[in-house]
Amino acid sequence: MNKQQLFEQIQSKKSFLCIGLDPVLDKLPKHLLKYEDPILEFNKQLIDATHDLCVAYKPNTAFYETRGVKGWDTLVKTWKHIPKDIFTIADAKRGDIGNTSAMYAEAFFKEESSEMSFDSVTVAPYMGKDSVTPFLAYQDKWVILLALTSNEGSQDFQAKQSGNQKLFEQVITTSQQWADSNQMMYVVGATKPEEFQNIRNLAPNNFLLVPGIGAQGGSLSAVCEHGLNNQCGLLINAGRSVIYASNGEDFAEKAREEALALQQEMEQILKAANLI
């Protein structure tokens, strides 16, 4: 999916919500345990209940890899169940020497190889240009580069001064020479709303993937105050607060209610910014 198509989805759904599909077997509603693949059933019912309210789904691969071959199969089947007009993010946080990154890119982008073709993959910038560029070889596929993450540990390296910039600022500035805003997004945690003005100055046209609202305590309105751009420019991820809204038989209905509340707040924000 290209940037214009993503913006059109945002305008037509009046939403820039991304739902994080990070399922844990122990947290699943008990009635799903009778299914052969309870996690797949959980994901399918969540997708069926929310796909008109969000523009993206983000399965974090850790939650699938932990179950070995079975988990990877669930990931493939989950990807296949997501409607094709929805932006998909493989949250895998990959990045390695060039030929290895090329294999990672194939794993997430090349359907003929892996039976999956996500629109994007999250990538760690630490190994530099040649670890990132192999992911850029696919048309209309995206790198979502970790810039300023939502966790406490982001202070350990990302926020450290490096020359006249902080390290995460350098990541944003330097990586813009590798790809433009049609292929590069940045991860910026919602737990750092005070940084959005600065980040928008460094990356005015890039989409930002913003995790950290809901379970991690970040605020949607605080992020939007300086985070929006003229094509919205934000994908706000909510995981646990949506998918575990209830652990009863009504889990999908309750997940929908949570997603709807976020979508309605987003609609007001988009209207106030004259984007719809």
Ligand X SMILES: O=C(O)c1cc(=O)[nH]c(=O)n1[C@@H]1O[C@H](COP(=O)(O)O)[C@@H](O)[C@H]1O
Binding mask 91-130 for ligand X (x = CB under 6 A): x------------------------------x--------
Task: Check residue 239 for interaction with ligand X (CB under 6 A).
Answer: yes
Sign of CA dihedral 35, 37, 39, 44: negative
Q: How far is the CB of 252 from ligand X (least distance, A)?
A: 17
Query: Toward ligand X, which CB reaches closer, 11 or 72?
Result: 72
Closest-by-Cβ residue to ligand X is 239
Task: Name which position in 165, 176, 181, 216 contacts ligand X (CB under 6 A).
Answer: 216
Q: Using CA atoms, how far apart are residues 94 and 79, in angstroms rounded to an integer?
A: 18
Task: Check residue 254 for interaction with ligand X (CB under 6 A).
Answer: no
Other residues' Cβ atoms within 10 Å of the Cβ of residue 197 = 11
Q: Copy the structure tokens of residue 60.
A: 């974090």
Which residues have CB under 8 Å from 29's CB, separation 6+?
42, 246, 247, 248, 249, 251
Q: How far is the CB of 241 from ligand X (least distance, A)?
A: 6
- The answer to whether 207 and 181 have CB atoms below 8 angstroms apart is yes
Task: Check residue 71 for interaction with ligand X (CB under 6 A).
Answer: no
Stretch that binds ligand X, among 7-15, 148-156, 161-169, 175-183 (CB under 6 A): 148-156
φ, ψ for residue 141, nearest 5 deg: -110, 150
Query: Toward ligand X, which CB reaches closer, 234 or 275?
Result: 234
Task: Name which position in 212, 228, 263, 266 contacts ligand X (CB under 6 A).
Answer: 212
Q: Copy the structure tokens of residue 236.
A: 């706000």
Respond yes or no: is residue 14 known to be catalytic. Answer: no
Residues from 161 through 200 that contact ligand X (CB under 6 A): 187, 189
Which residues have CB under 8 Å from 109's CB, separation 6+?
117, 118, 121, 135, 138, 141
Q: Copy the structure tokens of residue 66.
A: 């932990």
End-to-end CA distance of the chain: 20
Task: Check residue 61 for interaction with ligand X (CB under 6 A).
Answer: no
Residues found near ligand X in the complex (CB under 6 A): 20, 22, 60, 91, 122, 149-151, 187, 189, 211-212, 214-216, 237-240
Residue positions annotated with a catalytic role:
93
